[in-house]
Amino acid sequence: MFADNVLIVTIVAAFLIAVLIGPLFIPFLRRLKFGQAIREEGPQSHQKKAGTPTMGGTIILLALIFTVLKFANSSMEVTFLLLVTLGYGLIGFMDDFLKIRRKHNLGLTAKQKFAGQILLAIGAYILLIMMGHDTSLHLPGTPWKLELGYFYFPFLLFLLVGTTNAVNITDGLDGLLAGTGAIAFGAYAIIAWFGQNYDTAIFSAAVVGGVLGFLVFNAHPARVFMGDTGSLALGGALAGIAIMTKTELLLAIIGGVFVVETLSVILQVISFKTRGKRIFRMSPLHHHFELTGWSEWRVVVTFWLVGMFFAGLGVYLEVVTIK
Protein backbone atom coordinates (compact mmCIF):
# COMPACT_ATOMS: atom_id res chain seq x y z
CA MET A 1 0.00 0.00 0.00
CA PHE A 2 2.83 2.41 0.90
CA ALA A 3 4.56 1.77 -2.44
CA ASP A 4 1.35 2.63 -4.28
CA ASN A 5 0.99 5.93 -2.40
CA VAL A 6 4.65 6.87 -2.01
CA LEU A 7 4.36 9.97 -4.23
CA ILE A 8 1.44 11.32 -2.22
CA VAL A 9 3.20 10.52 1.05
CA THR A 10 6.35 12.25 -0.21
CA ILE A 11 4.44 15.38 -1.26
CA VAL A 12 2.61 15.58 2.06
CA ALA A 13 5.81 15.02 4.08
CA ALA A 14 7.75 17.71 2.21
CA PHE A 15 4.79 20.09 2.45
CA LEU A 16 4.51 19.64 6.22
CA ILE A 17 8.24 20.09 6.74
CA ALA A 18 8.20 23.35 4.75
CA VAL A 19 5.12 24.60 6.60
CA LEU A 20 6.76 23.84 9.95
CA ILE A 21 10.10 25.39 9.00
CA GLY A 22 8.58 28.59 7.58
CA PRO A 23 7.37 30.21 10.84
CA LEU A 24 10.79 29.59 12.38
CA PHE A 25 12.94 30.56 9.43
CA ILE A 26 11.16 33.74 8.27
CA PRO A 27 11.58 35.61 11.62
CA PHE A 28 15.21 34.45 11.60
CA LEU A 29 15.70 36.11 8.20
CA ARG A 30 14.07 39.28 9.55
CA ARG A 31 16.41 39.38 12.53
CA LEU A 32 19.38 39.06 10.17
CA LYS A 33 17.84 41.87 8.07
CA PHE A 34 17.94 39.67 4.97
CA GLY A 35 15.48 41.88 3.11
CA GLN A 36 14.93 41.97 -0.64
CA ALA A 37 16.18 44.96 -2.63
CA ILE A 38 13.75 45.86 -5.44
CA ARG A 39 14.95 46.79 -8.93
CA GLU A 40 14.41 50.50 -9.60
CA GLU A 41 13.59 49.75 -13.24
CA GLY A 42 10.82 47.34 -12.24
CA PRO A 43 7.14 48.26 -11.74
CA GLN A 44 6.78 51.06 -9.19
CA SER A 45 4.09 49.09 -7.37
CA HIS A 46 6.80 46.60 -6.35
CA GLN A 47 8.76 49.17 -4.33
CA LYS A 48 6.50 48.54 -1.34
CA LYS A 49 7.87 44.97 -1.26
CA ALA A 50 11.35 46.20 -0.37
CA GLY A 51 12.60 44.64 2.85
CA THR A 52 10.55 41.46 2.53
CA PRO A 53 12.78 38.58 3.70
CA THR A 54 14.50 36.74 0.87
CA MET A 55 16.54 33.52 0.55
CA GLY A 56 13.33 31.66 1.42
CA GLY A 57 14.32 29.04 -1.12
CA THR A 58 16.25 27.53 1.77
CA ILE A 59 12.89 26.35 3.14
CA ILE A 60 12.25 24.40 -0.06
CA LEU A 61 15.73 22.89 -0.07
CA LEU A 62 15.55 21.75 3.55
CA ALA A 63 12.18 20.11 2.97
CA LEU A 64 13.53 18.49 -0.19
CA ILE A 65 16.67 17.11 1.45
CA PHE A 66 14.91 15.65 4.49
CA THR A 67 12.18 14.04 2.38
CA VAL A 68 14.47 12.61 -0.29
CA LEU A 69 16.81 11.12 2.31
CA LYS A 70 13.81 9.49 3.96
CA PHE A 71 11.92 8.08 0.96
CA ALA A 72 14.39 7.71 -1.93
CA ASN A 73 17.19 5.21 -2.34
CA SER A 74 20.85 6.21 -2.15
CA SER A 75 21.28 5.94 -5.91
CA MET A 76 23.44 7.69 -8.48
CA GLU A 77 20.30 9.28 -9.88
CA VAL A 78 19.53 10.94 -6.55
CA THR A 79 23.18 11.99 -6.20
CA PHE A 80 23.04 13.67 -9.61
CA LEU A 81 19.77 15.44 -8.84
CA LEU A 82 21.06 16.71 -5.50
CA LEU A 83 24.28 17.90 -7.18
CA VAL A 84 22.54 20.07 -9.76
CA THR A 85 19.87 21.28 -7.34
CA LEU A 86 22.09 22.19 -4.41
CA GLY A 87 24.93 23.31 -6.67
CA TYR A 88 22.83 25.89 -8.49
CA GLY A 89 21.14 26.74 -5.22
CA LEU A 90 24.55 27.56 -3.76
CA ILE A 91 25.27 29.97 -6.63
CA GLY A 92 21.91 31.60 -5.93
CA PHE A 93 22.69 31.77 -2.21
CA MET A 94 25.97 33.58 -2.90
CA ASP A 95 24.15 36.00 -5.20
CA ASP A 96 21.44 36.69 -2.60
CA PHE A 97 23.97 37.14 0.19
CA LEU A 98 25.98 39.69 -1.77
CA LYS A 99 22.80 41.62 -2.65
CA ILE A 100 21.88 41.80 1.03
CA ARG A 101 25.39 42.72 2.14
CA ARG A 102 25.65 45.49 -0.45
CA LYS A 103 22.01 46.58 0.12
CA HIS A 104 21.55 46.66 -3.65
CA ASN A 105 19.92 44.45 -6.25
CA LEU A 106 23.31 43.47 -7.70
CA GLY A 107 25.04 40.37 -6.36
CA LEU A 108 27.32 38.18 -8.41
CA THR A 109 28.27 39.59 -11.79
CA ALA A 110 26.90 37.93 -14.92
CA LYS A 111 30.36 36.51 -15.65
CA GLN A 112 30.67 35.05 -12.15
CA LYS A 113 27.25 33.44 -12.35
CA PHE A 114 27.95 32.04 -15.80
CA ALA A 115 31.33 30.67 -14.72
CA GLY A 116 29.75 28.90 -11.76
CA GLN A 117 26.98 27.48 -13.91
CA ILE A 118 29.48 26.16 -16.47
CA LEU A 119 31.62 24.53 -13.78
CA LEU A 120 28.56 22.79 -12.38
CA ALA A 121 27.54 21.62 -15.84
CA ILE A 122 31.02 20.12 -16.32
CA GLY A 123 30.71 18.32 -12.98
CA ALA A 124 27.25 17.07 -13.94
CA TYR A 125 28.56 15.79 -17.28
CA ILE A 126 31.41 13.90 -15.61
CA LEU A 127 28.96 12.25 -13.24
CA LEU A 128 26.70 11.29 -16.16
CA ILE A 129 29.66 9.66 -17.92
CA MET A 130 30.38 7.66 -14.77
CA MET A 131 26.73 6.58 -14.76
CA GLY A 132 26.88 5.46 -18.41
CA HIS A 133 24.13 7.92 -19.28
CA ASP A 134 22.35 7.68 -22.63
CA THR A 135 23.52 10.57 -24.84
CA SER A 136 20.61 10.43 -27.27
CA LEU A 137 17.66 12.80 -27.42
CA HIS A 138 14.13 11.44 -27.64
CA LEU A 139 11.67 13.38 -29.78
CA PRO A 140 8.48 14.03 -27.76
CA GLY A 141 5.45 12.04 -28.83
CA THR A 142 7.44 9.79 -31.19
CA PRO A 143 9.54 6.62 -30.90
CA TRP A 144 12.43 8.43 -32.64
CA LYS A 145 15.68 9.51 -31.03
CA LEU A 146 18.81 11.35 -32.12
CA GLU A 147 22.23 10.20 -30.91
CA LEU A 148 24.43 13.17 -29.98
CA GLY A 149 27.52 11.38 -28.70
CA TYR A 150 30.17 13.95 -27.72
CA PHE A 151 27.82 16.76 -28.74
CA TYR A 152 25.69 15.88 -25.74
CA PHE A 153 27.95 18.01 -23.51
CA PRO A 154 27.28 21.37 -25.24
CA PHE A 155 23.61 20.45 -25.29
CA LEU A 156 23.76 19.63 -21.58
CA LEU A 157 25.48 22.95 -20.91
CA PHE A 158 22.76 24.81 -22.79
CA LEU A 159 20.02 22.87 -21.01
CA LEU A 160 21.33 23.44 -17.48
CA VAL A 161 22.32 27.08 -17.89
CA GLY A 162 19.28 27.93 -20.00
CA THR A 163 16.78 26.28 -17.66
CA THR A 164 18.20 27.78 -14.47
CA ASN A 165 18.12 31.27 -15.94
CA ALA A 166 14.67 30.82 -17.49
CA VAL A 167 13.23 29.72 -14.16
CA ASN A 168 15.03 32.59 -12.43
CA ILE A 169 13.47 35.10 -14.83
CA THR A 170 10.00 33.81 -13.97
CA ASP A 171 10.45 34.58 -10.28
CA GLY A 172 9.01 38.09 -10.35
CA LEU A 173 5.57 38.01 -8.71
CA ASP A 174 4.25 36.62 -5.45
CA GLY A 175 3.60 32.91 -5.92
CA LEU A 176 4.32 32.92 -9.66
CA LEU A 177 7.34 30.62 -9.71
CA ALA A 178 6.18 28.56 -6.74
CA GLY A 179 2.90 27.73 -8.50
CA THR A 180 4.25 27.15 -11.99
CA GLY A 181 7.16 25.21 -10.50
CA ALA A 182 4.88 22.90 -8.51
CA ILE A 183 2.89 22.20 -11.68
CA ALA A 184 5.98 21.38 -13.76
CA PHE A 185 7.51 19.15 -11.09
CA GLY A 186 4.18 17.44 -10.60
CA ALA A 187 4.11 16.58 -14.29
CA TYR A 188 7.62 15.15 -14.03
CA ALA A 189 6.68 13.09 -10.97
CA ILE A 190 4.01 11.41 -13.10
CA ILE A 191 6.31 10.94 -16.09
CA ALA A 192 9.13 9.52 -13.97
CA TRP A 193 6.75 7.13 -12.22
CA PHE A 194 5.29 5.84 -15.50
CA GLY A 195 8.84 5.46 -16.82
CA GLN A 196 9.77 3.41 -13.73
CA ASN A 197 12.32 6.02 -12.66
CA TYR A 198 11.08 5.73 -9.10
CA ASP A 199 13.84 7.65 -7.31
CA THR A 200 13.46 10.53 -9.76
CA ALA A 201 9.69 10.43 -9.27
CA ILE A 202 10.12 10.64 -5.49
CA PHE A 203 12.60 13.49 -5.90
CA SER A 204 10.11 15.35 -8.12
CA ALA A 205 7.32 14.76 -5.62
CA ALA A 206 9.52 16.08 -2.80
CA VAL A 207 10.07 19.29 -4.76
CA VAL A 208 6.31 19.62 -5.30
CA GLY A 209 5.64 19.30 -1.59
CA GLY A 210 8.42 21.68 -0.62
CA VAL A 211 7.33 24.31 -3.13
CA LEU A 212 3.66 24.07 -2.12
CA GLY A 213 4.65 24.42 1.52
CA PHE A 214 6.71 27.49 0.61
CA LEU A 215 3.75 28.86 -1.34
CA VAL A 216 1.82 29.12 1.93
CA PHE A 217 4.17 31.97 2.84
CA ASN A 218 4.89 33.23 -0.68
CA ALA A 219 1.34 33.72 -1.98
CA HIS A 220 0.26 37.34 -2.40
CA PRO A 221 1.01 39.28 -0.30
CA ALA A 222 4.27 37.39 0.13
CA ARG A 223 5.82 37.13 3.58
CA VAL A 224 9.04 35.77 2.09
CA PHE A 225 10.70 35.55 -1.33
CA MET A 226 12.61 32.48 -2.50
CA GLY A 227 15.42 34.59 -3.97
CA ASP A 228 18.00 33.20 -6.37
CA THR A 229 18.69 30.54 -3.74
CA GLY A 230 15.36 28.98 -4.63
CA SER A 231 14.90 29.93 -8.27
CA LEU A 232 18.31 28.72 -9.47
CA ALA A 233 17.97 25.54 -7.39
CA LEU A 234 14.54 24.82 -8.92
CA GLY A 235 15.93 25.45 -12.39
CA GLY A 236 18.78 23.02 -11.77
CA ALA A 237 16.36 20.44 -10.37
CA LEU A 238 14.01 20.77 -13.33
CA ALA A 239 16.81 20.33 -15.87
CA GLY A 240 18.27 17.44 -13.84
CA ILE A 241 14.95 15.60 -13.76
CA ALA A 242 14.53 16.06 -17.51
CA ILE A 243 17.99 14.55 -17.99
CA MET A 244 17.29 11.58 -15.71
CA THR A 245 13.97 10.82 -17.45
CA LYS A 246 15.47 11.33 -20.93
CA THR A 247 12.88 13.99 -21.70
CA GLU A 248 15.29 16.85 -22.33
CA LEU A 249 13.36 18.16 -25.33
CA LEU A 250 10.01 17.66 -23.61
CA LEU A 251 11.15 20.15 -20.97
CA ALA A 252 10.51 22.95 -23.47
CA ILE A 253 6.84 21.94 -23.42
CA ILE A 254 6.37 21.15 -19.72
CA GLY A 255 8.28 24.32 -18.84
CA GLY A 256 6.46 26.30 -21.52
CA VAL A 257 5.81 29.22 -19.18
CA PHE A 258 9.54 29.56 -18.49
CA VAL A 259 10.28 29.42 -22.22
CA VAL A 260 7.73 32.13 -23.02
CA GLU A 261 9.05 34.34 -20.22
CA THR A 262 12.60 34.01 -21.53
CA LEU A 263 11.58 34.65 -25.13
CA SER A 264 9.78 37.82 -24.06
CA VAL A 265 13.05 39.15 -22.62
CA ILE A 266 15.08 38.14 -25.68
CA LEU A 267 12.59 39.66 -28.13
CA GLN A 268 12.36 42.85 -26.09
CA VAL A 269 16.13 43.32 -26.10
CA ILE A 270 16.48 42.53 -29.82
CA SER A 271 13.64 44.86 -30.77
CA PHE A 272 14.94 47.74 -28.67
CA LYS A 273 18.52 47.41 -29.90
CA THR A 274 17.61 47.04 -33.59
CA ARG A 275 14.52 49.25 -33.91
CA GLY A 276 14.65 51.39 -30.79
CA LYS A 277 11.15 50.17 -29.91
CA ARG A 278 9.78 47.87 -27.24
CA ILE A 279 7.39 45.04 -28.02
CA PHE A 280 6.11 44.78 -24.46
CA ARG A 281 5.50 47.48 -21.90
CA MET A 282 8.04 45.69 -19.74
CA SER A 283 9.71 42.30 -19.77
CA PRO A 284 9.56 39.56 -18.59
CA LEU A 285 6.04 39.03 -19.85
CA HIS A 286 4.38 38.94 -16.42
CA HIS A 287 5.34 42.60 -15.90
CA HIS A 288 3.72 43.51 -19.24
CA PHE A 289 0.36 42.24 -18.03
CA GLU A 290 0.81 44.07 -14.73
CA LEU A 291 1.33 47.35 -16.57
CA THR A 292 -1.78 46.78 -18.69
CA GLY A 293 -3.83 46.94 -15.51
CA TRP A 294 -4.06 43.31 -14.43
CA SER A 295 -3.82 42.69 -10.71
CA GLU A 296 -0.80 40.73 -9.54
CA TRP A 297 -3.03 37.85 -8.44
CA ARG A 298 -4.76 37.73 -11.84
CA VAL A 299 -1.43 37.51 -13.65
CA VAL A 300 -0.21 34.74 -11.35
CA VAL A 301 -3.36 32.62 -11.63
CA THR A 302 -3.42 33.03 -15.42
CA PHE A 303 0.18 31.86 -15.66
CA TRP A 304 -0.64 28.90 -13.40
CA LEU A 305 -3.44 27.88 -15.78
CA VAL A 306 -1.16 28.20 -18.80
CA GLY A 307 1.43 26.14 -16.92
CA MET A 308 -1.18 23.43 -16.32
CA PHE A 309 -1.91 23.31 -20.04
CA PHE A 310 1.76 22.89 -20.95
CA ALA A 311 2.30 20.31 -18.21
CA GLY A 312 -0.76 18.33 -19.26
CA LEU A 313 0.39 18.35 -22.88
CA GLY A 314 3.85 17.17 -21.87
CA VAL A 315 2.48 14.32 -19.74
CA TYR A 316 0.16 13.26 -22.55
CA LEU A 317 2.95 13.16 -25.13
CA GLU A 318 5.31 11.21 -22.90
CA VAL A 319 2.81 8.72 -21.45
CA VAL A 320 1.55 7.94 -24.95
CA THR A 321 5.15 7.34 -26.06
CA ILE A 322 5.88 5.10 -23.07
CA LYS A 323 2.76 3.02 -23.67
**Rounded distance between C-alpha atoms, residue 290 and residue 109, angstroms:** 28
What sign does the dihedral 165-260-135-77 (CA atoms) show?
A: positive
Closest CA to 161 of 122, 105, 107: 122
Residue 96 assigned ligand-binding role? no
Burial of 105 (0-12, 13-18, 19+ CB in 10 A): middle
Amino acid identity at 33: K
CB 139, CB 247: distance < 8 Å: no
**Rounded distance between C-alpha atoms, residue 177 and residue 13, angstroms:** 21
Residue 168 assigned ligand-binding role? yes
**Rounded distance between C-alpha atoms, residue 245 and residue 187, angstroms:** 12
What sign does the dihedral 164-169-172-177 (CA atoms) show?
A: negative
The DSSP output letter for 53 is B
Q: What would the DSSP string read from start to end of 253-303?
A: HHTHHHHHHHHHHHHHHHHHHHHS--SSSSSSHHHHHHHTT--HHHHHHHH
Exposure string over 43-52, b if 16+ CB within 10 A, otherwise e: beebeeeeeb
The DSSP output letter for 35 is B
Detail the residues annotated as belonging to a binding site: 168, 228
Binding-site residue ranges for Mg(2+): 168, 228
